[in-house]
Amino acid sequence: MLVLKKEQPGFGLTLDEAAEAPPPGAGEVTVRVEAAGICGSDVHAYEWTDGYDFMTRHMPVTLGHEFAGRIAAVGQGVGVAEGTAVTVMPALACGTCAACLRGDPRNCTARGAVGLTRAGGFARHVTVPAANCLPLPDGVDTEIGALSEPLGVSAQAVLVGEVGLGDTVLVMGPGTIGQGAALFARAAGAATVLVSGRADGPRFDVCRALGFDALLDVAEAPLADLVRAATGGRPVDVVIEATGYPPAILDGLSVLKKGGVLVVAGIHPGPVSLPLTDFVRARQQLRATHGCDRSTWDKVLTVMGQGPERFRPMITHRMPLSHGLEGFELSRQRAASKVMLQP
């Protein structure tokens, strides 16, 4: 079967033929992948930016951690039926570390991930633990289902930021995570949701299609000026950063109210230096989020089931897996929002 994999450290990916996925063992299923999204993390792995060295010992590894499909085969002890449409949670807990033993697998100290440390969804078939598969609600097709992973990340960021009724929220970065954060901030009761980006025409177009028109292009003016103009001079209550650009943290803090919360959701290639005295005196809260809880996945799937078509505009490009490298370049150059590969 055709797979898109990372073979060695350094720039690039390889599109190649590989053996079929192994048959499922006890507690496993084989998923026939129907839709797999290219994530910003996948692009980082493609470019080989800092922070992805953990993948080296797992190479070659087939990428793809945002995907959905149908159960093609089941292993011993699995109750899900063949043909069931599912999305796949990529996080893999070891089950034996202190965090896992106390029932906190999200903080597993030996955590892995389907599509990063174990073969993922950029392939026709992939074998995964059955416990990682969640059935899609009625009316949610596998293309929309493949958005559940990034939407879970977005929803978790909004929860970490404690967005509340009447808040003014700034979402930094109009990519898929930012789009989802804007949607869930609005659903949490935010009165005003601003979305900032830099010369992000195609992704701003998606934000408009999702119902957001307070779009701030920092290629035209400094962020602080744009926010002041949009809010009448008031600081914002919550900032959700999804840019992966370290200086954006300082920009976000500059428009955040005293005691406000900035949530870092982006994956960053380098450090940032904070003016700590100003930060302390303003009592601002800097929080991190990564992935999402199982309970958040469940809530996201429930929301998706109530109106799946509202999320369709997030997908801007669809192409066969054989054109996967083209899809990666579109994503890397920000010429696309969400590229969905169809193995």
Six-digit token string for 124: 């026709």
Quote the tokens at residue 146.
Answer: 């493949």
Pick the CATH number of 151-288 from 3.30.420.140, 3.40.50.720, 3.40.50.2000, 1.20.1250.20: 3.40.50.720
Q: 296-327, pLDDT tens digit by residue? A: 999 999 999 999 999 999 999 999 999 999 99
Dist CA 125 CA 24 (whole Å): 11
Superfamily of the domain at 2-135+307-342:
Medium-chain alcohol dehydrogenases, catalytic domain (3.90.180.10)
Give me the chain's average pLDDT, please.
Answer: 96
The pLDDT, as a whole number, for residue 262 is 98
**What average pLDDT does the segment 223-230 reach?**
97
The residues spanned by each domain of the chain are 2-135+307-342, 151-288
- The helix (run of H) or strand (run of E) holding residue 125 is strand 125-129
The count of other CB atoms within 10 Å of the CB of residue 97 is: 16
Q: State how far the Cα of 335 lies from the Cα of 25, in Å rounded to an integer.
A: 41
Range 142-159 average pLDDT: 98
Sign of CA dihedral 94, 98, 104, 110: negative
Residue 118 neighbours by CB distance under 10 Å: 18
